[in-house]
Structure 1
């Protein structure tokens, strides 16, 4: 089995897609796929499909969607040239309280992303920034768009999608930090310009953008970036920037006043701490 979540939903058995086209059946498969090899309670599936207003036939309807998925799985299993001992019920299992999608020895882009990200974080902790950047780039390359972008998401999936987006942003923060530590500030500017427009209140990305601009001799633009973020935070949330970002701004100001582009060690440490996930 292959499970693809980080973009469009793509689940296949023996290379044959078992992803249904019907919206609610897709929701059921998506929730099972996100929690592959774990029991998904029937109540969670009902909440996903109907939120707080399920019909009286909700449990029966969920069973119908499971049967539809098993039909697709059966077709995929039968397509194999080799004899298959497994049945659809072995792949999509009924267990006390719910259902479990058994991935076996298959692949999952979520698991690959988590494995590569963890390797990148370990390399960061060890001070091997080149390896960290490599692992984290590989992890982020698994994303082809927002998670489950083609699935109508209910409450359960919305929570999972937000969680996955946070893990992606964490990996992105750490990859950029690694590349900044490698002196790649100029090559990061175009990407960071796009990112701060996409995430206008994300302080870590703003700090990294400010640092990249400052190191590229663009001190005024770095200070402008800070002011834009501050204005946005005050206007939208009634908040001032975090202490570490204010410290970074003061450091850039003082470096310019002293005619020095270097970042004091204390301020570099503040930026590194801000990117810890």
Structure 2
């Protein structure tokens, strides 16, 4: 008896279909380009006017024949502008650091701790969203002035540290963190401060960076509260200083140069923290 090997039948693989290209939506691209041009055009005009030579015709009359840094150097050499910039940096950076620390601590307590009146306290804290800042401006000014905080840095910074929006965002982010991490840390004997410092803060870097950008921009561009509290150049911020330049009849080039220099730190902060900002947005809704 002889055995004959039979060759298994082979089936020809069908060629894979090529992925279809997405249609080019040119109306959408045109609309986005138009909106981008409208958004960027004021900044272009601002920088062009700031870099124009003194006395030369510029936008909107005509495009300057050459650009010069004389206006920028004059502003940087002026003691008033540098002082306003330093005051604004102190006001913004100190506020960002303190708000992020206090908001993360409060968010951790509201999200992972159980204590009597927790929900009622959170809702009462969120109710401050409904109260406009202008309604509390005069009572806050009277309170700070009676404590001797007018024209001081602590009077400028402390009343802005109670940020219910930051606490709410931190609470929502920390609430989605797994409880097993905190339970395992407690079993290992970790203290509350160690849990906060080594678990909560590293896991909340995206939301901390996002809040840092928002809080920094808010304080850097804040005008009403510094206008009320800062009554001398020693505490005056950039926004109040630029308004004083306009009332004093400063040249248009100086106004545009001051505005351009004040915008650069905001762009730098956004560029450095953009990665964390995008990550926090992409993680929204994910557990």
Same fold (TM over 0.5): no
Give me the TM-score of the superposition, normalised by structure 1. Answer: 0.28
Larger Cα-atom Rg: 2
* Higher strand proportion: 1
Give me the TM-score of the superposition, normalised by structure 2. Answer: 0.27
